[in-house]
Amino acid sequence: MHDFFIPVIETAIRLTGIDTSKQIIIEQPSDKKFGDFSTNIALLTAKENRKNPRELAQEIINHLIFPPDTVAKIEVAGPGFINFYLSPVFIMKSVEQVLHDGDSYGKVNPGITKKAIVEYVSANPTGPLTIGRGRGGVLGDCIANILETQGYEVTREYYFNDAGRQMQILGESVRLRYLECCGQTIEFPDTHYKGDYIRDIAENIYNKYSAALVESSDIQIFKNSAEEIIFTSIKKTLDRLSIRHDSFFNEHTLYKPDEAGLTTNQRVIDALRKNGFIGEYDGATWFLTTKLGQEKDKVLIKSSGEPSYRLPDIGYHISKFERNFSMIVNVFGADHIDEYPDVIEALKILGYDTGRIKIAINQFVTTTVDGQTLKMSTRKGNADLLDDLIDDVGADATRLFFIMRSKDSHLNFDVELAKKQSKDNPVFYLQYAHARICSLLRMALQETGFDPSLSSEHHLLQLLTTPAELQLGFALLDYPDMIKTSLRILEPQKMVEYLHSLAEYFHRFYQECPIIKAEADICKARLFLSLATRQVLRNGFRILGVSAPESM
């Protein structure tokens, strides 16, 4: 609706002859008695123009020209707000638009395709996915879904490294468990992976090779088997939550020389060195971040000659730029919070437009079962596993619970609540609204022969004028704006909140307005309104990755 209001207001301001350097903001007042939309532009510009805000607001109003049957009332209120009230006809015409657009309602048709990349999960294959990773996975998936509705061609990417020290330790951990399988008594170091899955992998190898590998000190076969088994299990877990990736980017790619014989890592070092940000001491190569005001320099190449994770990370982001993504979204957990500023700084030095990069950091998840909190750590092997959670509460509840709170809030996942098949569980509230509409439409077909596809009768919607109907209609009209907001702040939680209100408005409408029992035209109009509501619920559910049951 911003596009609807802004040009008209801009014109009016120009006609009043005042300074318009301030940006015009259209907002929805918290209370409907202040209108459907409102702007504070008179308040913002009054001082610099030495005018009384209320008088200025009235002057602006005098020059506002909206198309007929759109804005029913405009008034000055409070200290100088301009409040707009939409006409019922306008609201109901928007509902016709929902029915017309169907699955595309809320989507933006791009003139030029913009490319976006969303990187999420990106767990190295050292163990099964934890609940914490799951939150990031669902968050990333939803952000990617939102981007797709806004005209982006989205690449969903998983970045991983199967070469580093952690993978060595993984291989060693499996080898030790294998030796146990062969009857040896071993001492298991604290630094190694202790989870039961390591034993399973070791047994798997033992079943295949018996004791043939006992003498070999080569851990390659242990590492490789572990990687294969673990990666398969990670993908399977993600699949259960409908989280998918188009591209798995192995860090190894960055170690391959180009035509000039240089690896990406070498190119990064050279470019940073040219700009004076590389130093060599203590046998290592450093990114001189102290020059940027940080406390410590950061190692790029270890004294062993291997790159630290930071160097390929920079190279990886260069690859994102070289693949021409106009928006680059990185989703990761709060434990990686210190990782990205260095990468951004390096990219800035190298001349990349870091404004394209958006970081979405999700805070941790604590799960409570019977009031007890569980904590996770992959290495100690006491991780709370994502698979167990899905087994427990199902995919819909898992997804919805992960994103029904803002990503910045430390999520408290109440397992008992998510398990409940009752109204306490927010998942059911949303799905129930959908199922109820489906049931209603089935009944309507049976009783009145209602045909949802009769678009020639959509104009009947304009007969609807009760507060409950208009409130519901307005919410449907608001859907496209809500998606845009959700994208701007990278926050699918907005969508959950919106759908909750939509469901609530529908239930109220259903309660107050007889539908099948109403007079024929009103009946049709109300069925169309229900149909439009179901459409928006479905579109929203699709973005969140929650199923839309036809009956419950």
| CA-based nearest residue to 153, from 99, 183, 207, 117 | 117
CB of 47 or CB of 256, closer to RNA: 47
* Nearest distance from C-beta of residue 293 to RNA, angstroms: 10
* Nearest distance from C-beta of residue 29 to RNA, angstroms: 4
CB of 10 or CB of 110, closer to RNA: 10
* Number of other residues whose CB lies within 10 A of the CB of residue 64: 17
* Nearest distance from C-beta of residue 535 to RNA, angstroms: 17
Which residue's entry shows tokens 């009857």? 183
**Cα distance between residue 120 and residue 127, in whole Å:** 17
Mind giving me the DSSP string for 85-101? EE-HHHHHHHHHHHHHH
Whether 342 and 315 have beta carbons less than 8 Å apart is answered as no
CB of 206 or CB of 530, closer to RNA: 530
CB of 339 or CB of 457, closer to RNA: 339
CB of 53 or CB of 88, closer to RNA: 53
CB of 259 or CB of 295, closer to RNA: 295
Q: Output the CA angle 512-540-142, nearest 5 degrees.
A: 150
Whether 39 and 81 have beta carbons less than 8 Å apart is answered as yes
Query: CA dist 55 to 83, 85, 251, Å?
Result: 14, 20, 63
* Nearest distance from C-beta of residue 408 to RNA, angstroms: 4
CB of 151 or CB of 549, closer to RNA: 549
Cα 539 to chain centroid, rounded: 15
CB of 387 or CB of 416, closer to RNA: 416
Residues 6+ apart with CB under 8 A from 21: none
CB of 33 or CB of 256, closer to RNA: 33
Which residue's entry shows tokens 């210190």? 338
Q: Look up residue 379 and give its two tokens.
A: 């290495």
CB of 99 or CB of 527, closer to RNA: 527
Residues 6+ apart with CB under 8 A from 67: none
| CA-based nearest residue to 360, from 492, 544, 499 | 492
Strand partners, 362: 333
* Nearest distance from C-beta of residue 284 to RNA, angstroms: 4
| CA-based nearest residue to 213, from 177, 167, 169, 166 | 177
CB of 235 or CB of 436, closer to RNA: 436
**Cα distance between residue 296 and residue 308, in whole Å:** 15
* Nearest distance from C-beta of residue 246 to RNA, angstroms: 21
Q: Look up residue 44 and give its two tokens.
A: 């913002």
**Cα distance between residue 385 and residue 394, in whole Å:** 14
* Nearest distance from C-beta of residue 550 to RNA, angstroms: 7
Q: Output the CA angle 47-48-54, nearest 5 degrees.
A: 40
**Cα distance between residue 142 and residue 154, in whole Å:** 12
Mind giving me the DSSP string for 198-248? HHHHHHHHHHHHTTTTSS----HHHHHHHHHHHHHHHHHHHHHTT---SEE
| CA-based nearest residue to 543, from 217, 105, 113 | 105
* Nearest distance from C-beta of residue 329 to RNA, angstroms: 17
* Nearest distance from C-beta of residue 153 to RNA, angstroms: 27
| Angle, in degrees to the nearest 10, between helices 131-149 and 395-403 | 80
Which residue's entry shows tokens 């088994």? 229
* Nearest distance from C-beta of residue 256 to RNA, angstroms: 17
* Nearest distance from C-beta of residue 6 to RNA, angstroms: 12
Which residue's entry shows tokens 């024929």? 520
CB of 154 or CB of 461, closer to RNA: 461
* Nearest distance from C-beta of residue 104 to RNA, angstroms: 26
